[in-house]
Amino acid sequence: MRLKLWAAFAASSIALSAFVAAPSAHAEKRFGGDSEKDEKKDKKAPAEKAKPGAKRFALSPEGLKFGAGMESIARLYDKIFDEEYLPLYKKAAPGPETEALDAELKQRKAEVRRSKLDFGDTPTGVDQTALKGEYSYANGESMGRLTLRSGTERYFFFFGDKLWKVYDEHKLKKGSPLGETYEGAVKVLATKFGSAPKKAPASPEKGQSFDESVWTTPDMIIRAIDRGNVIAVVYADRETQEDLPKRRRNKPKNDSAMDPDVANALKKSEAAPDPKKDEKSKKAKK
């Protein structure tokens, strides 16, 4: 492993980009890592509901795109981890130090693969987290997870093993790229995205637990979610996001609802009012 890594042509670790703009409509979608690149306006963007002049943004790292499968994403990060660990191998002494790096690198590469979680018919512990509402059950959805080098917690959401959403959790603190407050972070994002967002107040009855700021581009819907000391920035494939009602045909069961058979039995046991008896009762009272 050590010799293989030393033979790699990249001598420095890769910088994961969080704010990357695609140079044209034909570029890969690279958005959602930790640094920024300039972008030319997309003159061929279709006339949609996105704001005039809206840019096409890309997922990051390069090569990450909507529609990719879990294994494809894992292999992409395998290469990134190899490049990240190269400087460490160069400094390590042969023997225990390189062996420790081998074990650590192997564990990093397994992180995405072993994190896969299918949202089948059985409820999961994710329901108790802030991610509740980002997925549904029994509709072919699944999720994967990875901790980026920057400390960002990244979640991958799939429909039928095809990536459609990337969910990044950023801690808000002084000195961080997004600052220490939600309001400040939204201003930073507005500058990156080139426009002010649409405000979407929390609406629990609609399944939205937090206040959000939303940007719509020709091919993405980007949401900044206010979670107190954490801001979640979510990048979703617009076509899939707008088609969710059709994709999520199976609805969760209401455990508090009365069983239909029981409800019918109760209805039958309730005798219908007899008008003649009511009339006789009234006469008797007189």
In this prediction, residue 5 carries a pLDDT of 40
In this prediction, residue 57 carries a pLDDT of 84
How does DSSP assign 237-263, residue by residue? EHHHHHTHHHH--SPPP-TTSPPHHHH
Nearest Cα neighbor of 61 from 30, 39, 91 is 30
Contact 236, 247 (CB under 8 A): no
In this prediction, residue 114 carries a pLDDT of 96
Q: How far apart are CA 204 and CA 225, in angstroms?
A: 14
Quickly list H helices, the chain.
2-6, 70-91, 96-114, 182-193, 238-242, 244-247, 260-269, 275-285
pLDDT in tens, the chain (286 residues): 443 443 333 333 333 334 444 433 333 334 455 433 333 334 444 444 555 556 788 899 999 999 999 999 999 999 999 999 999 999 999 999 999 999 999 999 999 999 999 999 999 999 999 999 999 999 999 999 999 999 999 999 999 999 999 999 999 999 999 999 999 999 999 999 999 999 999 999 888 999 999 999 999 999 999 999 999 999 999 999 999 999 999 987 655 445 555 556 555 555 555 555 556 555 555 5
In this prediction, residue 110 carries a pLDDT of 96
In this prediction, residue 276 carries a pLDDT of 57
Helix axes 70-91, 96-114, angle to 10 degrees: 160
Domain ranges of the chain: 2-247
In this structure, what token pair is assigned to residue 158?
A: 């799939």
In this prediction, residue 252 carries a pLDDT of 74
Provide the CB-side half-sphere exposure for 49 (13 A, CA).
9
> How many C-beta neighbours within 10 Å does residue 132 have?
12
